[in-house]
Structure 1
Amino acid sequence: MDRPSAVAALRAAVAGFAAECLPGATSWCVALSGGPDSLALTAAAAAALPTTALIVDHGLQAGSDEVAETARRQAHDLGCVDAQVLRVQVGAGGGPEAAARAARYAALDVARSEAPVLLAHTLDDQAETVLLGLGRGSGARSIAGMRVSDPPWYRPLLGVRRRATHEACAELGFVSWDDPHNHDPRFTRVRLRTEVLPLLEDVLGGGVAEALGRTAAALREDTDALDGLATLSLEDVDETVAVTALAELPTAVRRRVIRGWLLRGGAANLTDKQIRAVDALVIAWHGQGGVAVGSDLRQQRLFAARRDGRLVMYTQPV
């Protein structure tokens, strides 16, 4: 039997995803950058359901408005019922990549009008994400990578290799935008893509991206199970937490309860180091003071501390 075309294979993947993850959807949006991944996804999505393309212009590169307009025209050519260019102002918080991501997701969330949004992350993106998490020692949650379904965000191509989207664009006759940032070695992800993953594929004899994808899926199942247990325990937690109750929990569950309690109390951007330091207030108590944790507070710092056998949170001026 002849191998199906790249376009046909992507359409089948998106249709299968829709049946499994969004069975009641009557329309959806696609985040379209103009690159090959999002163009191929837009083509497959528009063949399945009425599709609105949302094109974010970050304004960070010369000619970004022209790139956005080209993507808008291509979206209509691919059969989208609507295509909108969203122009955003990118801040500086957390570095350029994080700031652009925050601005992009905020704009998409407003423009989607309660509809699900399809994102064009591929298996190659997942492999890079797993390696980033592994290299940073961020724990199982990070190594578990991106979720296929994370409402309102959905990733129907997370099991598809990047080369398939390039092949689909070639079949369709579309010239995709080649983002210069995707070749800039100043970005860690670019070096993973162009240096580390090819080397791993060579050394290990291929199949590395697929193996990393399977690893992420297995870790995500374990993480979800542990998160569920932690959520049940967190239901009995007030503004303060009894240390004796926490100490009885298995380590993996206890640290998740601590993380949930911190987030509920106003913490943000928590690191593994901060969670472990708060955990030490429970299991390695020797009179140490409060632990500073991340938050979005201005002019103040958020702390967790142990007082009278309970964990408490408090703030101090910067």
Structure 2
Amino acid sequence: MARVDPAVAAARTAVRTALAGLGPGDLVLVACSGGADSLALAAAVSFEARRVGKSVRSRGHAVRAGAVVVDHGLQEGSADVAERAAAQCRALGLDPVLVRGPEGPGQPERPERPEQSGRPDGQDGPARPDGAGAGGPEAAARALRYGAIEEAAAETGAARVLLGHTLDDQAEQVLLGLARGAGARSLGGMPRERGILRRPFLGLRRAQTEAVCAASGLDYWTDPTNLLPEAGSAERFTPLRSRVRGRVLPVLEDTLGPGVAEALARTADQLRDDADLLDTLAADLLDRARAAAVPGPDAEIGPDAEPRPDAEPGEDALDVEVLARAHPALRRRALRLAALAAGCRPTDTTTRHVDALDAFVVSWSGQGPAGLPGGARARRACGRLFLRAAPTGNSDGWTGVRPPTTTQE
């Protein structure tokens, strides 16, 4: 029996876990960019899709495996890269293979090219020293990519969509969160599972996915924005994540020794578990604050409570006393969840906004309404905190609320 390459075996094992529980004939899609990570994922899915549930007691069964390739249209030749990725997916036996262009139906507007922006980081408005922010080409491309993936999944009825993020991507995510002074939810990195999305390669290194491609005869594409400019070459836009990858992580490995990326990924796993628990407790606190804001036999209203007029249409009412009695960490987390429920984007809702909401609860001095992202508003009256969404969602079109466990991906 031929020996299987160790990297190929590791990739197949990771995918086997991600496919567990799928029924015969279910469809799984691979989000493929043509890079080493997603092509390695496509190869592993092609193999494992034929033997889901196989064990010493079961022959297993087959599921259908397809792919979705998203062309962001940000670089010359991107359409050729997308078609080459699609062709390799088809050669692996994946079907259907969908290619989504930058201006396909129902997709976000094509992101601006970095070189067209007056900012060195490709964003509009005043530059932030940490390079963070909800805007810019990276965020726009991410929104387009996930929008196209969700659309393809809905169109095909896919039971799961697999993404090729690796342990290296997770480590970079944690470092970026640390640089921004982010909380545990952001430092928890990317989840292994969210809805129908799965990231089976979060335990694999990027070098392993490249080894899978080499062993499988796959010709992967390297995005030039993932590489640092060569010394003496013309200055060009380099995403912050690429600078962390090419400069910061190597310095940490050289200074602290090997294993930094693995340690950062373990930190993400631990903090995500903590954040999941805290979010569950915060959601329960939010429910209790809402219930107490409505007069009734079970409402938690003190003997000196103020009169309680009804909330205006479209307002979310929260009892201030219930919130004030809670631990600050839970209270602030609950207030952020309330802001998300009012239509604020997670990436736009900062510590400053949560501070303003918390001040209504613990340092009330008659202050007027506070503005929240996307045109939402908050005010306090009669012992209650009211949050109102913008009349038409919010200014950037966000009209829903993500689950409490969602972070930026």
- What TM-score results when the alignment is normalised by the length of structure 1? 0.91
Q: Match for 1:310 among 356, 380, 384?
A: 384
Q: Match for 2:146 among 105, 112, 115?
A: 105
Show the counterpart of 2:174: 130
Show the counterpart of 2:14: 13
Show the counterpart of 1:271: 350
- Please give the secondary structure, in 1, of the residue aligned with 2:376: strand
1:168-187 to structure 2, matched below 5 A, reads 168-184=212-228, 186-187=238-239
The separation in 2 between residues aligned to 1:267 and 1:284, in whole angstroms, is 23
Show the counterpart of 2:33: 33
Show the counterpart of 1:217: 269
The structure carrying a bigger helix percent of its residues is 1
Show the counterpart of 1:240: 317
Moved more, 63-72 or 183-192: 183-192
Change (3 A) 1:187 1:224: same
The separation in 2 between residues aligned to 1:186 and 1:47, in whole angstroms, is 36
- Please give the secondary structure, in 2, of the residue aligned with 1:12: helix
- Please give the secondary structure, in 2, of the residue aligned with 1:157: helix
Does the Cα contact within 8 Å between 1:88 and 1:107 map onto a contact in 2? no
Q: Match for 2:249 among 197, 207, 210?
A: 197
Show the counterpart of 1:298: none
Instruction: Tell me the CA shift for residue 255 of structure 1.
Output: 1.3
Does the Cα contact within 8 Å between 2:65 and 2:96 map onto a contact in 1? yes
Q: Match for 2:137 among 93, 96, 103?
A: 96
- What TM-score results when the alignment is normalised by the length of structure 2? 0.72
Does residue 66 of the first structure (1) align with residue 66 of the second (2)? no
Change (3 A) 1:82 1:23: closer
Instruction: Tell me the CA shift for residue 54 of structure 1.
Output: 0.4
Does the Cα contact within 8 Å between 2:35 and 2:220 map onto a contact in 1? yes
CA deviation string 1:129-169 (max 9, x = no partner): 00111110121111010000011211000111110000111
- Please give the secondary structure, in 2, of the residue aligned with 1:240: strand
- Please give the secondary structure, in 2, of the residue aligned with 1:28: strand
Unmatched tracts of structure 2, length 5 or more: 50-63, 104-109, 113-133, 229-236, 294-315, 396-409
Report the residue type matching 1:37 in the other structure: D
Does residue 76 of the first structure (1) align with residue 150 of the second (2)? no
Does the Cα contact within 8 Å between 2:342 and 2:389 map onto a contact in 1? no
The separation in 1 between residues aligned to 2:162 and 2:318, in whole angstroms, is 39
The separation in 1 between residues aligned to 2:244 and 2:111, in whole angstroms, is 26
Structure with greater Cα Rg: 2
Report the residue type matching 1:129 in the other structure: Q
Moved more, 51-60 or 278-287: 278-287
Instruction: Tell me the CA shift for residue 187 of structure 1.
Output: 1.2
Report the residue type matching 1:232 in the other structure: D
- Please give the secondary structure, in 1, of the residue aligned with 2:94: coil
Q: Match for 2:338 among 238, 252, 261?
A: 261
Show the counterpart of 2:211: 167
Show the counterpart of 2:69: 55
* Aligned Cα root-mean-square deviation (Å): 2.1
Moved more, 237-246 or 207-216: 237-246
Does the Cα contact within 8 Å between 2:82 and 2:99 map onto a contact in 1? yes
Does the Cα contact within 8 Å between 2:74 and 2:111 map onto a contact in 1? no
Unmatched tracts of structure 1, length 5 or more: 296-300
Percent of aligned positions that are identical? 46
The separation in 2 between residues aligned to 1:278 and 1:198, in whole angstroms, is 40
Change (3 A) 1:204 1:52: same
- Equivalent pairs counted in the alignment come to 310
The structure carrying a bigger strand percent of its residues is 1
